[in-house]
Copies of this chain bind each other. A is one copy, B any other.
Amino acid sequence: MQVDFDISQPIYQQVIIEIQRSLVRGELKPGDKLPSQRDLAQTMKVNHNTIQRAYREMEGEGFVETIRGMGTFITNNPVIVEEIRLKMAGESIGRFIEEMCSLGMKGEQIIAAVREHVEMMEGSQTV
């Protein structure tokens, strides 16, 4: 879980996104233990308080649970995987549509452009 950080976003948010991606990709599963705050801090070369902030935010969203003295765990509820996936997809779509609008494209044009791109990709993959 070694990543380079972006200056355009707080580190703790990038930590959250990395963990959520791992969950969506299936590398982490509901009930799994996350690395200890200090360990992950060392691995990611950031301060333990920064990891704690990330873990605490995720706890506030019900995505992880912290048991004092034991560690932090992905909430043991299979539903969260789908929840996180949808949340991340929604954010991705939001950013994308904003970008397209700033390029002067309107709703129908955006949908058409995405469809075109998708069909092009599927065509090239002989689906």
Q: Enumerate chain A interface residues (CB-CB to B < 8 A).
A: 4-8, 21, 24-25, 60, 85, 88-90, 92-97, 99-100, 102-105, 107-108, 110-111, 113-115, 117-119, 121-122
Contact = CB atoms under 8 A, between A and B. Distances in A.
B114 A89 contact: no
Contact of A92 (B4, B103, B107): B103
Contact of A21 (B5, B6, B102, B118): B102
Contacts of A107: 118-119, 121-122
Contacts of A117: 90, 93-94, 97
5 contacts: A21-B102, A24-B103, A24-B104, A60-B60, A111-B115
A85 B110 contact: no
A18 B41 CA distance: 34
A13 to B, nearest CB: 14
Given A92-B103, A104-B85, A97 B110 contact: no
Contacts of A25: 102, 104
A39 to B, nearest CB: 23
